[in-house]
Structure 1
């Protein structure tokens, strides 16, 4: 599945696909929430989590760029 196919899915289908096919890579915490990074084929899904309820707030989908760079810069993720 490519990133555009994923984005064409309904919100519910995106979450189902993430939980079924997503591979957890890493996470980090900020002051009031945490973020979990998953890979699906050749793109990434960042899930924002509510710390107090440990439940998802939202997701961001990307293949490269600043969102991915923050994981690389912090040394949380090593990609070839």
Structure 2
């Protein structure tokens, strides 16, 4: 539970994706990201994933406008 507490207290919410009734909440903490998986039907957090880059981050970049 301490890891989730760090996300809520130190993390900055970046984005949210809804896919198959699961909310994927992206937070930034220092030099890495945390994705929290929330099931809206059961009203429970069902997992988390920490990463710095790669395919997990790429799915959030699709909505950015081209420059």
Q: Which runs of 5+ in 2 are unaligned?
A: none
Is 1:27 aligned to 2:33, yes or no?
no
By percentage of residues, which structure has more strand?
2
Runs of 4+ in 1 over 4 A off after TM superposition: none
When normalised by structure 2's length, the TM-score is 0.86
Aligned to 1:69: 58
Query: Matched residue pairs, number?
Result: 65
- Residues 32-65 of structure 1: per-residue CA shift (max 9 Å, x gap): 3110000001110001000113331110000000
Aligned to 2:26: 37
CA apart distance, 1:28: 1.0
Aligned to 2:39: 50
CA RMSD of aligned residues (A): 1.6
Q: Which runs of 5+ in 1 are unaligned?
A: 1-11
Is 1:16 aligned to 2:5, yes or no?
yes
